[in-house]
Chain A
Amino acid sequence: MASGTDGSGQVDSILELSKITLRFGATTALDDVNINIRAGEFFTLLGPSGCGKTSLLRLLAGLQIPTSGHIRLDGQDITGVPPHRRPVNTVFQSYALFPHLTVARNVAFGLEMLRWQAAAIQKRIPEVLSLVGLSSYGERRTEQLSGGQQQRVALARALAPRPRVLLLDEPMSALDLKLRKETQQELKRLHREAGITFVLVTHDQEEALTLSDRIAVMKDGRVRQIGSPEVIYREPSDTFVADFIGEANLIQASALGRAGVAGLVMVRPEDIAIAPESDAARVRGTISDMRFLGGTVELTVVTDAGNAIRTRSAGAAAVLNHGQAVGRRVGLVWPDRAERVLEG
């Protein structure tokens, strides 16, 4: 129950969610969710909108109470503990900075509520502001800041009280692409330097893969798979996860001539190579589309069985002459280890 190393090399759990269910009237937002989050890890709740990931984050923050189930922090049940008595802070999607306070006063807010000594607060403010690279912005009003700067203030404000867990609710959704990439690196660095457990909510699979130590993929209020980015990508537990994370070709096993195998075979586009239309090819078909992506070339091959299979490779450009690719008949090959059989 409580955390502790169990001899098998398992790391301490800081947050344990067991059998969490959340209902609003007739709709079920979360259905029997079980997650253990390890101390110090960067954990991501990933899923499409409406999958319940934000509801789950609100449960962790204490802004919502589950219909049933338990949440434990450091082994203690905090299921019904109000937000102001949880050592957990949140970076809100809209940042929710206090408009009537300066940057420094925003950062100091949590510390004042915790009744820190004035001297300790005065020492902590420049510490966290420099951590997010806003050292000279303390006296600014929050409305004078850009979106990226506001987000940093929100981070500084949430990190200042040294929470046990930092919750991040789609913190990058309001930023443009370039800024988002920078901020991702920034978050990674903050996670390393702060040494705090991060729980991120996002619908952006690329973001999740880049940042996370482990990911929980969610859909319709349920957890579909929990694992490291590599495991989630390489060994998806079902077709939803396979399709949601990265790109996946899902081919009926029967179309590959697999006797006795039911379901779908998943192969990632980058694992598929173009080969001559020989017996060695796993499937044969006609190139229906070719997209030049700079470093790589993406081909769509319509197989004789009628499946559209996408491939992506660096070498394809050399093999095929750009203009003449479409309409040519080719074979497709991939190694055994690249495929994974999933239940339909």
Chain B
Amino acid sequence: MHRASPLLLTLPALLVIGIFMLVPLGYGVAYSFLTASPYGGAQLPFTFEGYQQVLFQRDFDESLYFTTTYLAIIFRSVVLASAAAILCAVLGLPVAWFIACQPAKWRTWLVFVVTLPFWVNSLIRTYCWVLLLRDQGLINLALQKSGLTSGPIGLMYNDGATLLGLVYNFLPFMVLPIYAALERLDPRLIEAAHDLYATRAKVFSRIIIPLALPGLKAGALLVFAPALGYFLVPDLLGGGRNLMIGNLIQIEFTSGRNWPFGAALSVLVTGAVMLVLMIGAMRGKRRKLSDIVGDQL
């Protein structure tokens, strides 16, 4: 009985992980190897067609031909998610540094303010950007009223708007881990660097950046991974024309009625994110995978 207790104690956690993670994931993987039913869903027999469709399309005469349509979407997703991660890092580092420099009693409040958008539904937040960016939106009105432009300028329905939405949505995921790293930075290290002839710029590049690096890495993963599969922002701000992989998956499961293909794409996205995480874990030899994602938040 005593020997069994460790296993018994971990059982609830194992059950939660099993039911909420492994089972859906397993379903996803299984669906990706099935054949599409005409009215949605999937059926036997097992096939690789779901994955085949990423690179090849079937012509009317049933012959396969190579297509870059989906590759382009995957490529755009990776580029946009990477750009979002980089932009978040550039914006998030000064914010995190600013918070870390404040007196302790203010810091908790400022961290709360950073997480404030989480309290509002992301759909509503993204619609707010629509209100701001559309042709009759606040920004265009202000530009025209002030005489800077004569007509509305197209702020929406392009990759720029998608990127803006992604950065806006995921910036807190970057700020928080960097802040966690910087908060632990001993201010005396900065004094010591100044004492050893480092200018402000050198202190930043030689002390602050290297010590914020674990936070930056964690933040980059936390932004990149969800941004890669996000569909709300490209749908609303990108206008559904410049698809990201998340939109494609959503379409395949709904109007496209091609669940195996959608599932295959999901598996690919998940696999890609896992790969990035694993490379990160292996390069930071002494840091465990769980540390990189876990201890920063």
Contacts and interface: CB of A to CB of B under 8 A. Distances in A.
Contact of A61 (B186, B195, B210): B195
Interface string B173-199: 000000000000010110111111111
Nearest to B197: A113
Given A84-B199, A113-B202, A98 B192 contact: yes
A62 to B, nearest CB: 8
A105 to B, nearest CB: 10
Interface residues of B, number: 17
Interface string A49-86: 00000000000011100000000000000000011110
**The 5 A-B residue pairs with the shortest CB-CB distance in the complex, in nearest-first order:** A110-B196, A113-B197, A96-B192, A96-B188, A83-B194
Contact of A161 (B188, B192, B197, B211): B197
Interface stretch (A87-95, A207-215, A230-238): A87-95
A89 B191 contact: no
A257 interface: no
Interface of B: 186, 188-189, 191-199, 202, 206-207, 210-211
A25 interface: no
Contacts of B193: 98, 109, 113
Interface residues of A, number: 24
A265 B205 CA distance: 60
Contacts of A158: 195-196
A312 interface: no
A114 B197 CA distance: 6
A83 B188 contact: no
Contact of B191 (A63, A85, A110, A113): A63
Interface of A: 61-63, 82-85, 88-90, 92, 94, 96-100, 109-110, 113-114, 157-158, 161
Given A94-B186, A98-B207, A99-B211, A84 B191 contact: no
Nearest to B190: A96
B215 to A, nearest CB: 13
B27 to A, nearest CB: 44
